[in-house]
Amino acid sequence: MHSPQTHQGNSSSADLQVDKARQQRRLELAHELQSLVPEKAILSRPHELTPYESDGLTAIKQTPLLVVLPETVAQVQAVMRWADRQEVPVVARGAGTGLSGGASPHPDGILLGLAKFNRILELNPGGGYAVVQPGVRNLAISEAARPHGLYYAPDPSSQIACSIGGNVAENSGGVHCLKYGLTVHNILSLTVVTASGELLEIGGESPEQNGLDLLALFTGSEGMLGITVEIKVKLLPVPPLARLVMATFSSVEDAGAAVGEVIADGIIPAGMELMDNPAIRASEAFAQCGYPVDAEALILCELDGLEEEVESQIARVEEVFKKCRAETQHVAASDEERLLLWKGRKSAFPAVGRLSPDYYCIDGTIPRKALPQVLASMDKMSKQYELPIANVFHAGDGNLHPLILFDANKPGELERTEELGSKILQLCVEVGGTITGEHGVGLEKINEMCVQFNSATIEQFHALKAAFDPKGILNPGKAIPTLQRCAEFGAMHVKGGKLPFPELERF
């Protein structure tokens, strides 16, 4: 979400006293940390802290007390041991491209930036894996592996910038997650620094691991259970052939129904994306990729594998689209055209930014069979709230990314937008889906967690958090709501309204 700059008037005497106290606390913490990391790794001046005020959800801004940029695992451990003793909140941050406020800093804590952990430590083509640090860009892994005929499958639209550590924190996906899975399906092991500074090795190369599946637990935990400092990722062979079908439809509902029919026919595309007319027009103007701008809806369906298999599936997909009233169909004539058509889809988010001063990107997931119903309901909501919506999403696995267009400079419009976004997420839950597919909960969707989960489940989430982080210093206040918050949100019946782990409510 994009939002306008806020302007402050004359500060009161009380505000000045608070600022003075914060500055004193900042100097104290910086002095203590100087013995643990190089002085240049500590950022404390206002202009140094400003770039870290938010992640991609820029409507939520907060200045951390300090930013610490360690360069070694030993330094991360030292900082966490210190933070554990001092009970100072720590928020880990990668590239800062997240869209849920998951890397939003804590006002009384430090932001631990992992940008300097940017090396590929090992590339093992024979073993089909790479060992990378968390600051390595997603796309850089595939670029390094491609000379060996390999690549890393999860491909978020921000893959040119987003880091693999952030992908692990949010369990990111991408346009090819339908066939190849999310981050959790494409990593073999993690090296994690705990809240108390211990080093854990989680997972391994064997497909069967003894004990509890901590690898799945940590993937998508949003930095609340530990700090990931090393990741072993799977590398897959580049498919011999990839072909792309572009089909247009007279309505978004028809396109949504066609998505389900393709899967029902037994075909699992490498990727299947849906865009509505506003997204089509914006992407075409931005990327000039050959999209038909008069189409109400467009599906990009990619098939990959052996040539005979791909050609057979192309014919089947075209037949399904025809039965679902596709207006036009086009198969990319070359690999260059295929990549250009994907460029339009991957450019959709920045492209839509041209349509409105601001937009709010929603991330929810629904069963494929509910696509027509949910798309029709969102259209009604859009008209009710008088806020346009541009739809672009991973249709194959039901991961919606509606973009609500608004102008934050108009009084009340941001609040109305947030309310509409919440209604869309609640709709996802109503039809059997979830409030997030890959962007995480962070601060953005914490109220909607109360809609999706009952009080007993949320209590267990807090128990799990307390088991790994008993003092509650890692990314506090994110992802898991307190039961009191849920009671205030009015979304669940809360037993007594008290959290069984009150120490986690301190921050």
Average pLDDT over residues 83-93: 97
Q: Is residue 379 part of a domain?
A: yes
Looking at the fold, whether 171 and 303 belong to one and the same domain comes out as no
- Two tokens, residue 123: 């590339």
Return all residues near 73 (Cβ < 8 A) that are at least 6 apart: 191, 193, 199, 229, 230
Q: Is residue 70 part of a domain?
A: yes
Could you tell me if 404 and 423 are in contact, meaning their C-beta atoms sit under 8 angstroms apart?
no
Looking at the fold, whether 222 and 194 belong to one and the same domain comes out as yes
Kindly indicate the confidence band of residue 13, based on its pLDDT and cuts at 50, 70 and 90. Answer: confident
Could you tell me if 474 and 90 are in contact, meaning their C-beta atoms sit under 8 angstroms apart?
yes
Looking at the fold, whether 212 and 130 belong to one and the same domain comes out as yes
**CA angle, corner 289, sides to 286 and 291, nearest 5?**
95
Residue with tokens 């799945």: 216
CATH number at residue 217: 3.30.465.10
Looking at the fold, whether 166 and 281 belong to one and the same domain comes out as no
Residue 389: beta bridge partners? Answer: 404
Q: Is residue 329 part of a domain?
A: yes
Q: How many helices (H) and strands (E) are present in the chain, helices listed first?
A: 17, 20
Residue 478 and residue 492: Cα distance in Å, rounded?
A: 19
Residue 101 and residue 246: Cα distance in Å, rounded?
A: 34
Q: pLDDT (tens digit, 9 = 90+) per residue, 320-373?
A: 999 999 999 999 999 999 999 999 999 999 999 999 999 999 999 999 999 989
> Nearest CA to 329 among 337, 396, 312, 320?
320
- Domain boundary among the residues 113, 131, 162 is at 113
Q: Is residue 100 part of a domain?
A: yes
> What is the average pLDDT value for the chain, to the nearest integer?
92
- The 3-state DSSP composition of the chain as helix, strand, coil percent (nearest 5) reads 40, 20, 40
Q: Is residue 418 part of a domain?
A: no
- Two tokens, residue 475: 């990314």
Could you tell me if 375 and 296 are in contact, meaning their C-beta atoms sit under 8 angstroms apart?
no
Return all residues near 431 (Cβ < 8 A) that are at least 6 apart: 366, 367, 370, 373, 374
Q: Does pLDDT of 500 surpass 50? A: no
Strand order in the sheet with 389-393: 328-331, 241-249, 297-305, 271-276, 389-393, 402-406, 358-361
Looking at the fold, whether 128 and 194 belong to one and the same domain comes out as yes
Q: Is residue 381 part of a domain?
A: yes
Looking at the fold, whether 265 and 322 belong to one and the same domain comes out as yes
Average pLDDT over residues 45-60: 92
Whole-Å CA distances, 18 to 27, 32, 119, 354, 418? 14, 21, 40, 40, 30
Residue 435 and residue 437: Cα distance in Å, rounded?
A: 7
> Nearest CA to 93 among 120, 66, 74?
66
CATH number at residue 26: 3.30.43.10
- Alpha helix ranges (H) inside 197-334: 214-218, 252-264, 277-287, 307-323
DSSP 3-state assignment of 382? helix
Number of structural domains the chain divides into: 4
pLDDT at 10: 52
Could you tell me if 243 and 310 are in contact, meaning their C-beta atoms sit under 8 angstroms apart?
yes
Give the global pTM. 0.91
Looking at the fold, whether 61 and 141 belong to one and the same domain comes out as no
pLDDT at 58: 81
Whole-Å CA distances, 272 to 176, 269, 281? 8, 6, 19
Number of neighbouring beta carbons within 10 Å of residue 369: 16
pLDDT at 502: 42
Residue 288 and residue 217: Cα distance in Å, rounded?
A: 41
Looking at the fold, whether 162 and 286 belong to one and the same domain comes out as no
Kindly indicate the confidence band of residue 494, based on its pLDDT and cuts at 50, 70 and 90. Answer: very low
- Domain boundary among the residues 194, 222, 237 is at 237
Give the single-character DSSP code of 101.
S
Q: Is residue 2 part of a domain?
A: no
Q: pLDDT (tens digit, 9 = 90+) per residue, 242-286?
A: 999 999 999 999 999 999 999 999 999 999 999 999 999 999 999
Q: Does pLDDT of 8 surpass 80? A: no
Looking at the fold, whether 136 and 220 belong to one and the same domain comes out as yes
Looking at the fold, whether 400 and 474 belong to one and the same domain comes out as no
Could you tell me if 326 and 373 are in contact, meaning their C-beta atoms sit under 8 angstroms apart?
no
Q: Is residue 87 part of a domain?
A: yes
Looking at the fold, whether 319 and 291 belong to one and the same domain comes out as yes
- Domain boundary among the residues 113, 135, 161 is at 113
Q: Does pLDDT of 496 surpass 60? A: no
Number of neighbouring beta carbons within 10 Å of residue 308: 9
Average pLDDT over residues 370-398: 94
Looking at the fold, whether 296 and 198 belong to one and the same domain comes out as no
Residue with tokens 């298999």: 309
pLDDT at 1: 52
Query: Domain range for residue 57?
Result: 13-113
CATH number at residue 340: 3.30.70.2190
DSSP 3-state assignment of 228? strand
